[in-house]
Chains A and B, each alone.
Chain A
Amino acid sequence: MEFLHWQLLPLAAGALIPWLIYLWRRRQRQSIAWGAMQFVLAAVAERGSTAVRIEWLLLVVRSLWILALALAAAGPVLRGKTSAVVAAAPTPARGWILVLDMTLSMNYREQGTTLAVQAQQQARHIVERAASHDQFLVVSLERRPRAVVDEPTSNRTRVAAAIDALVPTQAAGDVAATIDLVEALVGRAARQSDVKQWHVVWLSDFQSVVWQTVLDTGAAQDALAKLSAATAQQFLAVGSPARPNEAIVGIHPATALATVGQEIPVAVHVRGYQLGGDRQSSIELVVDEQVVERRTIRVTDGRERVEVFSYRPSRSGWHDLSARLGPDALELDNRRWTVLDVRPQLEVLCIAGRPGEADPIVAALPTEPDNELMHAATTVISPAALERTALDRFDCVISANVPRYSTEDWRRFARFVEAGGGLLVLLGNAVDLAGYAPPRETNGAAAGGVGGLLPAELVELAPWGDYQFDPLDYAHPIVAPFRDFRQGAGLRDTPIWRYVRLQPRPTSETVLGLDSGGAALVVGRAGEGRVALLATSSSSGDQRPWTALDAWWSFVPLVNETIGWLVAGHDAREWLVGDVAEGVSPSTMFAAALTAVGPDGSSRAVPTRIADGTSRWRLGPLDRAGVYRVQWRDPSGRSLHRTANVDSIESDTRSIDAARFAAAAGPPPDEPAANAAPSGDHQPLYSPLLLVVLILMLAEVGLGRWLARL
């Protein structure tokens, strides 16, 4: 006999209560000196031994019905007659590895339950119907798959509890890693138990995007085939094939850093899956938990729709933006978050290599609040003043024709950029090419790929000539606004007479090329920030200028678009649920401790690590979608917001036919798990036990009355 609710078994101790009462009453007896013992003895003799036997029988009956009631409450299950047959002709124990898909798509709700619950029910059904000597392992398919029962056990109560404890995540799954984990468990189980045949049962919705990788990836296919050679596999699909779903798959403000009063377009991407046609849905733009706009849109099955909202922040600070759809069967992908860092104004530092070198830049930046552009406050310093200038309070640093920088300067630039700042380097006739090779040790893993901070190496000076920009089809966001204008609004005919030949790094992007084939404007990313490198000068003030860029009408928009792009990456990195968020503390917060407040309001300390002169923080894995607020414990109270969103690949509710995996894995076991004729049928016993309780209680009443009559 086994018990489904073994935690209630201690109630069986209640069977001792009648005996304890009996002993307590005897202990509490009054002792009396008595003279008329003959009548006592006669009365006892008159009642006879029958009464004594009935009294003992009553005690036994009372204990039995309490015991039976406790056993019934514990959910007893008895292996039936076939168990005897099995025992008589013992069959080898089988091993079962139950792999339950606990990814985001399993939160899909149909017929009142989620797919995850349906998978758990099927798994428990397999456990209940297996033979008593079969052994089990349980694996959860997640972004980081884990074994919740990692050693073979035949304790099905424990296995059922482990299955019930699983909760579907908000992240996508790694099927290949799960296959590897299962293979490792099988290998270890072969050494730990005497089970010869292991059956792997995959319980999943076989969501197309995630599972397709198994069929498309050679390594995953090989791993699956290898697993099939050692085990018998079965793939049980959970949920119905047709599962309509709508999801917000992206939310992108035009910039992640804005100034007060600036109108920010926010593009929201909506997609429908298996809708069976168009569907009307409501969509809201929510800012700081206030609905700022609501629309009714038409979502088309299989197509992505972009809704552009507009938001104008009226105050500085962090703003949490999200787009939200109406409820459907999978609600976790109906909302997506982003954050907007709104500043009173942009703080720009210009390092002028020579007096006046930065003047064109300063003049190009708006200083008053602008509807479309960020207005900026610009500080101009000489290279000598850089050492005593803290970079953390600036959003963007512009280097204009500075001859050279020291190693420490490059390190400071690197920390500044990695912490989210933007760096624009403008070359010119004063630049010492050799001095623009930042030491390699300033590179972090995120620093523009292999090489230095700059997105390109400075190779050599190009000869004097007549050159022009090549906008490269206006593909990059910096030059995209120039597309619809004649000559690119002056971009294409900007005179360039000299430039530095650049060798862009593999991870860089060339925004503007040169008609000579070289790169004029190259951008890259380092840490949380961005770097841009212009191969020529921005100033035409020299006796023999390299370019007339600052006098051309494309200069102002090019400067603003470039700076806008440089700061747009500021803190704009989007995390997915399951990711580990990382960042660099500002140098002024080097020693400050961090705490993070999650979307659920829970607060936790964020560990930091000092490396290469920077303080790096690490948060995660992020377990739910929403906004995370990272705060430094510093008088300034500085904080930053990060968002984690669900991986939109899980929103696609189309499924792959499980039979394709079965075909790839090999023949199924001779007894499909879902329809298995049980190797040992089982019978719940609580009904017969309750009947026994009723009979015993009636017997107690009858015996009591009989005793009273004696």
Chain B
Amino acid sequence: MPVLPERYFDPRMLSRLEGLDFRPRRPVDGWWAGDQPSRGVGAAIEFLEHRAYAPGDDLRRVDWKVFGRTDKLYVRQHESQRDVRATFLIDASGSMAFRGSGTGDSKYDYAARLGLALAWLVRHRGGSVALGLLGRAETWLPWAASSQQLVMMSQMLADHAPPVQPGGDNGTTIGDSLAALAPRLTSPALVVIASDLFDEPSHLNQSLARLAAQRQELVLLHVCDRQEIEFPFQNVVHLESLERAMPSRTVDAARIANAYRTQVRQFLAARRAWCERQSIDYVPIMTDEPVGDVLAGYLIARNHLIRSPV
């Protein structure tokens, strides 16, 4: 395993995650497994679970033994380590450059840590990972299972960190970036999106829905800064927008604080509700929480759901 940059990789945190799995809930119908018989003798295929037969499923996957016992058609799900493909989409828009007082990481750095930690897990199990940057539509690192992939991912993340300057992005929204990346995600895969989701909701929802329709398993890591959530100001403040699309504004913080927090609560609640309806994993995260704690908690809960017996 090559040396991973410490900017994004904490060895202690990784060692803590090592025993956890990060894999799709649904078996991955990759073109490695199932479509072609394995030529390798002794290739490891791990049984995952049964699921109900759906019209169109390959009849060769029907577990006839279960049918004989139950008179119900069930399809065997297998996990092939080689078939785990994960795509990590990290939001690199201007708003992700925000770093609240009292926190060490910007939202971008924190999102990068999250994504790379999960990517490391996938790679640790032999899967392939890809990286795309939202807000920078042409930035894409295709799937690879090479030993250098994580290094290349971290390098790409470091090179495209959004600047901390007003209007420091190029104006591309998250939704636009997702729409632009969607054609690349033809095969069902695990798609992890780490973003503050500061986009027009309907436009973002549309892009996410399209990905979901492409049978991508979406995991939405909603990265938030506590200062942005709580708006702890009292006096007149001049807020310089980090996104080019948004204007800067001087406000009397005491006057708008209540309305601001109401808007944020409504935003978070709407996002959660929509993700639940779409069966999308929605994980709200504060940047002042340790990355390891967050991922451990999430993965444990996720794996528990995955291993629930039918």
A: residues with CB less than 8 A from B are 25-26, 28-44, 46-47, 51, 55, 707, 710
Chain A contacts of B252 at CB under 8 A? 55
CB neighbours of A36 from chain B (8 A) = 95, 98, 196, 198, 228, 264
Question: Which residues of chain B have C-beta atoms less than 8 A from A44's C-beta?
Answer: 249, 251, 256, 259
Distance of A45 Cα from B22 Cα, bound (Å): 43
Residues of A contacting B: mostly: helix
Assembly CA distance A33 to B168 (angstroms):
11
B residues 119-153 touching A (CB-CB < 8 Å) = none
> Is B228 in contact with A35, judged by CB distance below 8 angstroms?
yes
Chain B residues whose C-beta falls within 8 Å of the C-beta of A34 in the assembled complex: 98, 228, 239-242
Contact for B236 among A26, A35, A41, A707, CB less than 8 A: A26
Query: Of A33, A37, A46, A55, which one neighbours B249 at CB under 8 angstroms?
Result: A37
Please pick, from B241, B250, B255, the residue contacting A26 in the complex, using a CB distance under 8 A.
B250
Assembly CA distance A43 to B262 (angstroms): 8
Q: Which residues of A contact B298 (CB under 8 A)?
A: none
Chain A contacts of B228 at CB under 8 A? 34-36, 39
Shortest B72–chain A CB gap in Å is: 49
- Is the Cβ of A30 less than 8 Å from the Cβ of B98? no
Q: Are A43 and B263 in contact (CB under 8 A)?
A: yes
How far is B247's CA from A35's CA once the two chains are assembled, in angstroms?
11
A interface footprint on B155-170 (CB within 8 Å = 1, 0 otherwise): 0000000001110000
Assess whether B237 is in contact with A35, with CB atoms less than 8 Å apart.
no
Query: Closest CB-CB distance, B115 to chain A, in whole Å?
Result: 18
B225 within 8 A of A: yes
Once the chains bind, are A35 and B97 in contact (CB under 8 Å)? yes
Q: Is the CB of A33 within 8 A of B98?
A: yes
Closest chain-A Cβ to B248's Cβ sits at a distance in Å of 7
A41 to B249, CA, bound (A): 8
Interface check B107, CB cutoff 8 A: yes
Q: How far is the CA of A237 from the CA of B225 in the complex (A)?
A: 88
Whether A47 contacts B259 in the complex (CB less than 8 A), given A34-B240, A35-B94, A37-B249, comes out as yes
- When C-beta atoms are compared, the residue in chain A nearest to B94 turns out to be A35
CA distance A25 to B233 in the complex (A): 14
Taking CB atoms, residues of chain A closer than 8 Å to B255 are 47, 51, 55, 707, 710
Mark out the residues of chain B between 227 and 267 whose CB falls within 8 Å of any chain A CB in the assembled complex.
Answer: 228, 231, 233, 235-243, 246-252, 255-257, 259-260, 262-264, 267
| Interchain Cβ contacts under 8 Å between A and B, 30 examples | A29-B236, A30-B233, A30-B236, A30-B237, A31-B238, A33-B98, A33-B166, A34-B239, A34-B241, A35-B98, A35-B107, A35-B198, A36-B198, A37-B241, A37-B243, A38-B263, A39-B228, A39-B263, A39-B267, A40-B251, A41-B246, A42-B260, A42-B263, A43-B259, A43-B262, A44-B249, A44-B256, A46-B262, A47-B259, A710-B255
CA–CA, A38 and B228, complex, Å: 11
CA distance A39 to B263 in the complex (A): 6
User: In the complex the two chains form, is A32's CB within 8 Å of B259's CB?
Assistant: no
CA distance A701 to B240 in the complex (A): 33
Q: Is B96 close to A, CB under 8 A? A: yes
Pair B264/A32 contact, Cβ less than 8 Å: no
A47 contacts across to B, CB distance below 8 A: 255-256, 259
Q: Closest CB-CB distance, B111 to chain A, in whole Å? A: 12
> Known contacts A35-B225, A39-B267, A43-B263: does B251 contact A30 (CB below 8 Å)?
no
**A47–chain B nearest beta-carbon distance, Å:** 6
- Of all chain B residues, the one with the shortest Cβ separation from A36 is B228
In the complex, which of the residues A35, A40, A707, A710 has the most CB atoms of chain B within 10 Å of its own CB atom? A35
A28-B225 contact, Cβ under 8 Å, with A41-B246, A41-B247, A43-B256: no
Would B241 and A46 count as touching, CB distance under 8 A? no
Question: Contacts of B196 on A, CB cut-off 8 Å?
Answer: 35-36
Instruction: Specify which chain B residues have a CB less than 8 angstroms from the CB of A32 in the assembled complex.
Output: 233, 237-240
Once A35-B243, A43-B260, A707-B255 are accepted as A-B contacts, the answer to whether A25 and B198 lie under 8 Å apart by CB is no
- Chain B residues numbered 94-124 whose CB sits less than 8 Å from any CB in chain A: 94-98, 107
Point out the residues of chain B lying under 8 angstroms from A28, CB to CB.
Answer: 235-236
Type the 1/0 row for B252-293, where 1 means its CB is closer than 8 Å to any CB of A. 100111011011100100000000000000000000000000
Report yes or no: B165 in contact with A33, Cβ–Cβ below 8 A.
yes
Q: How far is the CA of A51 from the CA of B97 in the complex (A)?
A: 32
Distance of A442 Cα from B142 Cα, bound (Å): 134
**Alpha-carbon separation in the docked complex, A200 to B166 (Å):** 80
| Contact of A39 with B264 in the complex, beta carbons under 8 Å | yes
C-alpha gap A32/B236 in the complex (Å):
11
Chain A min CB distance to B245 (Å): 9
Query: Given the complex of chains A and B, what is the CA–CA distance between A29 and B228 in angstroms?
Result: 18
Contacts of B225 in A (CB 8 A): 35
Additional A-B contacts beyond A30-B235, A35-B98, A37-B247 (7; CB < 8 A): A32-B240, A33-B165, A34-B241, A35-B198, A40-B239, A40-B260, A46-B262
